[in-house]
Amino acid sequence: MDWRLIFDQPAEGTWNMSLDEALLETAGKAGQGGCLRFYFWSQPTVSLGYFQRYEDRRFHVGSRDCPLVRRATGGGAIVHDVELTYSLTVPVRDHVHAGLRVFYDVLHRALIEELATLGVTAAWCAGAGKGEKREEPFLCFQRRCEGDVLVGGMKIGGSAQRRHRAGLLQHGSVLLGRSPSAPELPGIEDLGKIHVDPSELARRWAYRIGDRIGVALAVTTPTEEELLLARLLQQNKFGDPWNHRR
């Protein structure tokens, strides 16, 4: 069965999260395979991990004035600016059959391979190691876990998942360059000394993912049903009550 592939235009944070939620809600629709969506943000925006406290954003000075939205997936906060964001939604039958870890592995290893074609040496993070338990940094890209993608020892790629009755949602971000709203985080362009076209990276990475999973990717757009559901979610869910819930 073919998977859907969506290349989206920049949008505000509440819309990006609402459309991903709509794609998850419809993931179990009969006859529908997985969906891989690449997208951007219309302005620098902070996305909080599902379990993070809203009040903790005050500790990150650079992004205090950025709009904020809470993700449905876990992990640390991301400053979406000079980066590429993706979502992967797959039906229950697919993520149960394949397991959860496999989608991290497939997407991140495909990214490492694609960066190598650009002359950028990226590595698979073996994990943060064991030791005294400490509070995690606020920003996702200052954290380390097994499977993260590193360049020069710095994290440039990471993902987080959420299981749902209809399927699985996986969010991921690739840090392309340094953002004025998070100047402490270098991206691929800073570390690899090479310009990366985000749309071209998305296209080439997508088809490498399809090859690894063994599916054909058909470029499409969200359905009217998904757009309507996303509008309802944007209006009724992904606003201030949701963002301040913790």
Q: Which residues pair with 45 in a beta bridge?
A: 80
237, with CB counted inside 10 A (0-12, 13-18, 19+), is middle
- Arithmetic mean of pLDDT, 168-189: 97
132-170 burial string, b = 16+ CB within 10 Å, else e? Answer: eeeebebbbbbbbbebbbbbeebbbbbbbbbebebbbbb
Q: Of the listed 35, 125, 140, 145, which one is catalytic? A: 140
3-state secondary structure of 141: helix
Percent of the chain at pLDDT > 90 equals 80
Domain layout of the chain by residue ranges: 3-127+145-241
Specify the pairing of strand 35-39 against strand 3-7.
parallel
Predicted confidence band of residue 39 (pLDDT cuts 50, 70, 90):
very high
CATH (one of 3.20.20.70, 3.30.9.80, 3.40.50.2300, 3.30.930.10) for 3-127+145-241: 3.30.930.10
- The CA distance from 29 to 11, in Å, is 26
Give the per-residue pLDDT at 128: 63
* The pLDDT of residue 245 is above 80: no
The pLDDT value recorded for residue 129 is 56
More confident residue, 60 or 164: 60
The answer to whether 6 and 221 have CB atoms below 8 angstroms apart is yes
Q: In terms of pLDDT, which residue wins out, 101 or 191?
A: 191
- Sequence-distant (≥ 6) Cβ neighbours of residue 84 within 8 angstroms: 38, 40, 173, 174, 176, 198, 201, 202
Residues contacting residue 55 through CB under 8 Å, at least 6 positions apart: none
- The pLDDT tens digits for 54-110 are 999 999 999 999 999 999 999 999 999 999 999 999 987 766 555 667 899 999 999
Residue type, 183: P
CB atoms within 10 A of CB 182: 26
Q: Residue 87 CB: number of other CB atoms within 10 A?
A: 26
Dihedral pair phi/psi, residue 71, rounded to 5°: -80, 160
* DSSP per-residue string spanning 230-245: HHHHHHHTTTHHHHT-
Question: Residue written as tokens 């495909």?
Answer: 110
pTM check: above 0.75: yes
Phi/psi of residue 62, nearest 5 degrees = -60, -30
State the pLDDT at residue 167. 87
Q: Is the pLDDT of residue 132 over 60?
A: no
35 is catalytic: no
Q: DSSP alpha helices (H): ranges in 1-131? A: 13-25, 92-98, 101-117
171: nearest Cα among 82, 101, 74: 74
Whether 133 has a pLDDT exceeding 70, the answer reads no
